[in-house]
């Protein structure tokens, strides 16, 4: 876990955060003394005071919960405690007084002891003061089964945010206190959730919880560093981790955890929550994996709504939770609202943080249908095949060509760890993996018989496609331009017919074409020898090969790549990261692009000579 924070103490942190939250949402008001955030359009001083006021809250550290959900069609107010600590009854009563609602107030909280006690006492006091108040305690975590939770019920996870959205939209539509409350009960009892964490979070200024081992993941964890019910080691592949979570959530044969029954055809909502430390890239991949397993292994209907992002965090925890809401069952248990009504409540627009995860999923018409995934995942039309003109092609011995190419690809795959390490220090760390991906694609093409005809033109066409389709980043762009120019130059050399090139050796054709291709590449990059780039290998290789042959070209390439160890980078990201002003003349790691190019030409030489 990371123990580094911008604010190294929790003292005053919640107050500053709340002032910041209301600063970028001018419709909100903040009672600083009681840490109550109020929707300014619905407080007791407003002429548009709502019929039913929804109030939630809890400990801080779960942002955007709860203050981030104050606004239209969600909460009328939120109450924030200290980090991971319930707000006091006095704070909660300040929220009730601020947004009394014409019909009354509903307090919605997650099932944690402090929250239940303080919100429960506030509920009693509000009702004793002749107001109308209800309390709904939400528990959706299935990791704590019935046998262990018989007295306290299920813990609360991010499934509660879905409940808040539905209830808030119903209240915003003018529904009665009883109808909004009954809807909340119906939905909250049809949610199953479970979390998994790669490590615990760290609270500023506090002693950290013991970290998980590098080869461990914990499932069934809570949002306050509560331990899960199982640690898995070694860490399973993502698909297997998701499989285990869904099995605990959905298996109706597990009597201890089958809190919600799913009937074939039931419409559901999927909520994937980031505890704060997961990258959006991984969250997207996680959503895809969950959807594949729900519709595949579980044979469920595709969820009618999918919400993913930071809904209820645990500070900086690298963790996530999955929630499945059975809205069909909720509608069956709620006489007032249909499945389409519940979907409409999910779709109702707000001016809160909910919109960051909601997107636009309603579709058009009635009933409200979300576009299915097969309608979203489109395949481009196949590109027309590139042909090679036999009259402008260079033919060589097929076995030698295959051996040379396989050796070059193998050298890149083997060197990937070093290339990645060097590029991480001096650049963005993608060089090794980019080249490994390209090499793997070329090896697959060779296995399909790419070199069996001995056509250099066909190999260069494949290299173009691999560089363009499989190799991103700066290096991928450079190589794609280079291979396109190289193929064009080879065709030009071979197409001169009866000129001197028709009797030239393949090495002479290569030397001339390589020089022409580098001239083309120079139109797109200012890199030259001495700039610590791939050109420190390619230019000496080309010049020496043109002057005195392939072997001298390889020697020049090796010398050029080695020379980059003492060069200060002058281009690209490496020019402003990873190198100091006093690095000139001091040996460093070589430039990974230059080194990779050297490995390739050296492997080509060995393959040509018959040893790989």
| Residues contributing to the annotated binding site for substrate | 59-62, 115
Preceding amide of 367 cis, omega within 30: yes
- Tokens 């060097």, located at residue: 422
- Tell me the C-alpha distance between 458 and 268, whole Å: 51
Binding site, annotated residues: 59-62, 115
Q: Report yes or no: 159 and 139 within 8 Å, Cβ to Cβ.
A: no
SS3 call for 66: coil
Give the distance, in angstroms, between the CA of residue 459 and the centroid of all CA atoms in the same chain: 36
The token pair that represents 128 in the structure block: 């004793």
389: Cβ contacts below 8 Å, ≥ 6 apart: 457, 491, 495
Q: List own/partner pairs for 114-122 with CB under 8 A and 24 or more apart.
A: 114/59, 114/81, 114/85, 114/86, 115/57, 115/58, 115/59, 115/86, 117/86, 118/86, 118/87, 118/88, 118/89, 118/92, 119/57, 119/86, 119/92, 121/89, 122/89, 122/92, 122/93, 122/96
Q: Report yes or no: 80 and 113 within 8 Å, Cβ to Cβ.
A: no
SS3 call for 72: coil
- Tell me the C-alpha distance between 198 and 287, whole Å: 17
- Tell me the C-alpha distance between 494 and 499, whole Å: 9
Pairing assessment for the beta strands 191-197 and 319-326 based on DSSP bridges = antiparallel
Known active-site residue 224 = yes
- Tell me the C-alpha distance between 10 and 555, whole Å: 61
- Tokens 């980078």, located at residue: 569
SS3 call for 30: strand
- Report CA dihedral (466, 470, 474, 475) to the nearest 10 degrees: -50
The residue from 118, 224, 248, 364 that is catalytic is 224
Q: List own/partner pairs for 383-386 with CB under 8 A and 24 or more apart.
A: 386/461, 386/464, 386/465
Positions marked active-site:
224
């Amino acid at each position: 876990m990371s123990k580094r924070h911008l604010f190294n103490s929790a003292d005053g942190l919640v107050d500053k955060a709340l002032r910041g939250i209301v600063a970028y949402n001018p419709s909100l008001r903040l009672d600083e003394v009681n840490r109550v955030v109020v929707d300014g359009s619905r407080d007791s001083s407003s002429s548009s005071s709502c019929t039913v006021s929804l109030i939630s809250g809890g400990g801080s550290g779960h942002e955007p919960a709860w203050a981030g959900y104050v606004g239209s069609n969600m909460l009328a107010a939120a109450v924030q405690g200290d980090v991971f600590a319930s707000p006091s009854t006095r704070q909660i009563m300040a929220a009730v007084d601020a947004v009394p609602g014409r019909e009354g107030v509903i307090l919605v909280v997650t099932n944690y002891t402090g929250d239940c006690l303080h919100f429960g006492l506030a509920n009693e006091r509000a009702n004793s003061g002749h107001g109308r108040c209800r309390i709904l305690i939400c528990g959706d975590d299935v990791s704590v089964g019935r046998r262990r939770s018989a007295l306290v019920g299920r813990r609360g996870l991010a499934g509660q945010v879905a409940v808040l959205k539905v209830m808030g939209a119903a209240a915003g539509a003018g529904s009665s206190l009883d109808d909004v409350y009954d809807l909340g009960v119906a939905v909250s009892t049809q949610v199953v959730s479970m979390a998994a964490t790669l490590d615990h979070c760290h609270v500023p200024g506090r002693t950290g919880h013991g970290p998980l081992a590098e080869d461990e993941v914990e499932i069934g964890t809570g949002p306050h560093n509560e331990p899960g019910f199982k640690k898995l080691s070694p860490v399973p592949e993502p698909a297997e981790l998701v499989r285990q979570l869904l099995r605990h959530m959905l298996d109706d044969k597990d009597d201890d955890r089958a809190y919600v029954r799913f009937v074939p055809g039931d419409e559901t909502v999927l909520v994937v929550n980031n505890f704060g430390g997961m990258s959006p890239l991984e969250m997207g991949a996680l959503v895809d994996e969950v959807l594949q397993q729900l519709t595949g292994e579980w044979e469920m209907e595709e969820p009618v709504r999918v919400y993913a992002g930071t809904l209820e965090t645990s500070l900086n925890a690298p963790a996530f939770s999955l929630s499945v809401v059975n809205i069909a069952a909720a509608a069956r248990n709620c006489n007032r609202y249909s499945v389409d009504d519940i979907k409409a409540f999910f779709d109702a627009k707000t001016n809160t943080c909910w919109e960051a995860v909601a997107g636009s999923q309603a579709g058009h018409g009635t009933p409200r249908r979300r576009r299915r995934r097969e309608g979203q995942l489109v395949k481009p039309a196949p590109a027309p095949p590139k042909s090679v003109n036999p009259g402008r092609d260079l033919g060589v011995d097929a076995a030698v060509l295959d051996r040379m190419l396989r050796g070059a690809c193998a050298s890149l795959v083997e060197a990937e760890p070093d290339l990645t390490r060097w590029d991480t220090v001096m650049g963005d760390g993608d060089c090794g993996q980019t080249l490994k991906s390209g090499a793997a694609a070329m090896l697959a093409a060779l296995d399909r018989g790419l070199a069996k005809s001995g056509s250099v033109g066909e190999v260069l066409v494949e290299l173009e496609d691999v560089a363009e389709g499989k190799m991103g980043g700066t290096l991928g762009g450079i190589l794609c331009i280079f291979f396109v120019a190289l193929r064009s130059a080879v065709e030009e050399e071979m197409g001169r017919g009866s000129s001197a090139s028709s009797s030239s050796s393949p090495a002479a054709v290569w030397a001339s074409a390589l020089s022409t291709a580098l001239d083309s590449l120079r139109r797109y990059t200012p890199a030259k020898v001495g700039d610590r780039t791939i050109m420190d290998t390619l230019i000496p290789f080309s010049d020496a090969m043109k002057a005195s042959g392939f072997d001298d070209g390889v020697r020049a390439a090796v010398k050029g790549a080695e020379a980059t160890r003492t060069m200060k980078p002058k281009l690209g990201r490496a020019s402003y990261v990873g190198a100091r002003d006093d690095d000139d003349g001091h040996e460093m790691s070589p430039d990974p692009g230059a080194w990779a190019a050297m490995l390739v030409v050296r492997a080509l030489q060995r393959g040509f000579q018959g040893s790989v």
